Amino acid sequence: MSDKRFDFTVYQHRDFLMSVRGPDGSGWFTSRCPVCEHHGGDTDHNHFRFIESGAFKCFSGCESWKIIEWFNAMLNDREPKFVKDDTPDEILDYFKEE
């Protein structure tokens, strides 16, 4: 995801992820989902996919804002806060459903 309001891509910060593999023939990378990992899951290290242009997805269903919050926490050397009340407005606004 790349946006003027919130300029961020998972690809830029892939060094924070565990077991990054790829890209595959379509340009997708695979790794352990950081949110699943935080909660003790994704022991197979294959729930998370992302592409250089910015798209990403957890195949276990982790919400996008939680993944962004995890990266925000890592970049700011703090524990992630997976409560929407504690999530910065710019992140929540970016993922607001119209």
Q: How confident is the model at residue 88 (pLDDT cuts 50, 70, 90)?
A: low
Q: Where are the domains positioned within the chain?
A: 11-94
Whether pTM > 0.85 for this model: the answer is no
- b/e map of 7-46 (b: 16 or more CB within 10 Å)? ebbbbeeeeebeebeeeeeeebbbbbbbbbbbeeebeebe
pLDDT 10s digits, 38-73? 999 999 999 999 999 889 999 999 998 899 889 988
